[in-house]
A and B are shown apart, each in its own frame.
Chain A
Amino acid sequence: MGLLKTFVLGGIHPPENKLSAGQPVRTLKVPDQVVVPMGQNLGAPSKPVVKRGDKVKTGQLIAEAGGFISARIHSPVSGTVFKIDQVMDMSGYRRTAVIIKVDGDEWMEDIDRSDTLVTEINFSPEEIIEKVKDAGIVGMGGATFPTHVKLMPPPGKSADYLLINGVECEPYLTADHQLMLEKGAEIIVGTRLLMKALKVKKAVIGIENNKPDAIRQMTELAAKEEGITVQPLKVKYPQGGEKQLIKAVTGREVPSGKLPVEVGCVVQNVGTTFAVYEAVMKNKPLIERVVTVTGKALSNPSNLKVRIGTPIKFLVEEAGGLPEDTGKVIGGGPMMGKALATLDVPVVKGTSGVLLMREAESHRLPESPCIRCSKCTQVCPMGLEPFLLSRLSRMGRFEDAEKEKVMDCIECGSCQYTCPAHIPLLDYLRLGKNKVGALIRARSKK
């Protein structure tokens, strides 16, 4: 293979544990009831347009975007709106959700549910963006930034590169991997749609080298297309971070505090790209997604296609049932995912995985004094000094933390992963980011 591309600064290599690799995507049956939270995207929460007692069909609009950076939401099932209420979502907070009692599975008439591959693109860039917006697509790698916003660069800026993120650098997760194997052709069409919408001539699909079958498959498919190439990447976490991926593939460095489009790049995850294909070519809004359900004690780690709003409990049952000694359930991957308080929370657009950890792996080791080993600094992909930033936040010195670039932290957790003193660095970094964010907002108001 020779020298594989990767990003330069920092990075770690946690054990991969891709237990569900090679498991074909199975479709999970529709549950009796779904809970559809209104805050499934970065930015403003969506606003319900249905009320209690309304009949809805699968794919019908149930919430409008709540602002410019927001997305629409569609009913993932057919049935009756049972109530609109505050429920606990993955964040652990109670937020508005539309709860729907399921009744059959009747879809909106204009949605093409067949598996036929449609490759002919007869849409203008504006039409593509409009359809992406209508379908409520958000970044499905976990960031959940509304996709149509990314397709409309701010005035004066333009992109010349589209990067498709097939890196999947989080340990344990295999949903994107499997999607590339099963829906490679669709992802290529999705890539072409995104290229057209962005008016770019070059697209690169970045895939880490631990997925040779996906690299082979996507390379073959891309060979028939003009302007699309596949870039195998060295396995290194957090390569799936937008800035790291751009650096790895193009060598360009997004300036601190700026967006990728500043260096002419737009990044979309493979799951998102597939959703774009379905939205534009099949009229299908984002109402289901592939989720990896995994864990060392789980009898049947799986990749499942599930409707949004399905309780996590259902997914776990399908993957073999909750193991006896489960100590922690994570929504997402082990590095950046969120620990869940209960299995009753629903799958949302950004749910890439559900990871069950054993009791023994669930607890943090006791913290000891910082021995100034500088390991955290060596692994930080953003070139920060986590030991210093965490100390500054602990002491409440947020102005200094801002000067030391705490806002550049991408919360990848590499520092904490590696710290021999087991200091919860990222907890303090998040606190610092919160406070500094508030400082910045207060300043801009003045």
Chain B
Amino acid sequence: MNMLTISGSPHLHSDNSTRKIMFGVVVALLPAMLVAVYYFGLGALEVIVLSVFFSVFFEWLIQKYLIKGPLTITDGSAVVTGILLAFNVPSNLPWWMVIIGALVAIGIGKMSFGGLGKNIFNPALVSRVFLLVSFPVAMTSWPKPHPITKVLVDTVTGPTPLGYIKEGLGAGKTLSELIPHLPSYAQQLMGQMGGSLGEVSALAILLGGIYMLWKKIITWEIPVSMLLTVFVFSGILWLINPQHYMDPVFNLLTGGVMLGAVFMATDMVTSPMTRGGQLLFGFGIGLITMLIRVWGAYPEGVSFAILLMNSVVPLINRGFKPRRFGKVKAATVK
């Protein structure tokens, strides 16, 4: 008889794998990708392709020649980072900046920590903040959205709704003067507004989120607690002074809140492991986002909020344990 395999139980394995999860995320990113190309044209497509290609390429390069370790580019994680990086920059970002972005995301954000699973910060966001600090102008000139059917290459730029409000208020204007110039809620929902290329359509992002929930790639705790916090916080300010603060729906639909809640904060590597910890994590991100939006120097704060909360995840993991079976108080046991 041939040799029998000996190994410890269990002898069955689910068909789950890292690659399956990563490509599940890619599928979830597709609707937002389509919307980006629809509104921002070939520029968006170019940024996405460059970002994905160079993210994978740099990972390969670093593993092959610098670390000389096993190659893992087929696990799909570099692809996800590439798409997310593209989603976090304007669709007209010069090609060489995209390449630098990919290098920072993979080289500093991921590989310098030891590769997949070991990084503390979301690599795409590390890179986004790096680009924002290095190339502030390029990173904040947003092409105006035009359905692809009308214009293929777009050169006109305009502010994001958040930036427009922040600037306007800073210049002493009132909200009732500013609001008529904003895109309608319907346009915001669909993504017809200025912004980073993957963050504009709340609807497309939600679709991806529902897919990931269905496929059990993410759990509801982080997105729900983050969105709820933004909603409640901005709602309270709005109720106090509707002349000075934008309403909660506006705060949910604009900027990176949706993208952050569904795709960035839920990054499994950099988020807490237990449900309780995830709720706190989402709450912290929502809170910091609003603090920056309302009182900070930037019109938008989701990236900073997520990175800040990333840094306390080890602490959260220490403080929040799952409910242990059998941790019953003596009194309840008869």
* A residues adjacent to B (C-beta < 8 A): 9, 12, 14-15, 92, 171, 243, 247, 252-258, 262-264, 322, 326-330, 334-343, 355, 357, 362-365, 368-375, 377-378, 380-385, 387-388, 405, 408, 411-414, 416-422, 424, 426-427, 430
CB 8 Å contact bits of B301-334 with A (1 = contact, 0 = none): 0000000000000000000011111111010011
Note all chain B residues with C-beta closer than 8 A to A252: 333
Q: Inside 8 A of A413's CB, which chain B residues have their CB?
A: 9-10
What A residues does B17 contact at CB under 8 A? Answer: 365, 420-422
Give per-residue flags for B10-23: 1 if the beta carbon is below 8 A from chain A beta carbons, else 0.
Answer: 11111011101100
Contact of B11 among A357, A381, A388 (CB under 8 A): A357
Asked whether A243 lies within 8 Å of B325 as measured between CB atoms, the reply is yes
Q: Which of B7, B10, B322, B333 contacts A417 (CB 8 A)?
A: B10
| Chain A binding surface, main DSSP class | loop
- Asked if A370 and B322 sit within 8 Å, CB to CB, the answer is no
| Given A12-B14, A373-B21, also A243-B4 (CB < 8 A) | no
**B10 and A322 contacting across the interface, CB-CB below 8 Å:** no
CB-defined A-B contacts under 8 Å, sample of 18: A9-B323, A15-B12, A243-B325, A328-B4, A328-B11, A334-B11, A341-B4, A364-B13, A369-B116, A370-B117, A371-B116, A373-B268, A377-B273, A382-B324, A388-B273, A411-B9, A426-B8, A427-B8
**Interface size range of chain B in the complex:** 35 or more
In the bound assembly, the distance between CA atoms of A171 and B10 in angstroms comes to 11
- Does B5 lie within 8 Å of A383, measured CB to CB? no
Residues on A with C-beta less than 8 A from B271 are 372
Contact in complex: B273, A343 (CB < 8 Å): no
Judge whether B16 and A420 touch: CB under 8 Å. yes
Q: Are B273 and A363 in contact (CB under 8 A)?
A: no
User: Does B154 touch A at the CB level, under 8 Å?
Assistant: no
B327 touches A256 (CB 8 A): yes
Which residues of B line the A interface, CB within 8 A?
1-2, 4-14, 16-18, 20-21, 72, 75, 77, 115-118, 219, 268-271, 273-274, 321-328, 330, 333-334
Query: If the complex has contacts A328-B4, A420-B16, are A336 and B116 also in contact, measured as CB distance less than 8 A?
Result: no
- Are A263's CB and B11's CB within 8 A? no
- Among residues of A, the one whose C-beta sits closest to the C-beta of B278 is A374
Chain B residue numbers with a CB within 8 Å of A15 are 12
Q: What number of A-B contacts does a CB cutoff of 8 Å give?
A: 164
Q: How far is the CB of A210 from chain B (nearest CB, A)?
A: 17
CB distance from A429 to the nearest CB of B (A): 10
A385 with B321: in contact, given A338-B9, A374-B273 (CB under 8 Å)? yes
Please state if B9 and A335 are interface contacts (CB–CB under 8 Å): yes
Shortest Cβ distance from residue A227 to the other chain B in the assembled complex, whole angstroms: 19
Given the known A-B contacts A380-B322, A384-B322, are A264 and B5 also in contact in the complex, defined by CB atoms under 8 Å? no
Enumerate chain A residues within 8 angstroms of B324, measured Cβ to Cβ.
256, 382-384, 405, 408
Asked whether B11 lies within 8 Å of A420 as measured between CB atoms, the reply is no
Q: Is the CB of A327 within 8 A of B5?
A: yes
CB proximity of A226 to chain B, nearest CB, Å = 23
- A322 / chain B contacts, CB cutoff of 8 Å: 1
Residues of A within 8 Å of B75, CB to CB, are 368
Contact of A426 among B6, B9, B16, B77 (CB under 8 A): B9
Known: A253-B325, A371-B117. 12 other contacts (CB 8 A): A253-B328, A254-B326, A255-B330, A334-B10, A340-B6, A343-B1, A368-B72, A371-B77, A372-B269, A377-B322, A416-B10, A426-B9
CB-based contact A341/B14 at 8 Å: no
Contacts A336-B9, A420-B21; is A262 near B4 (CB within 8 Å)?
Answer: no
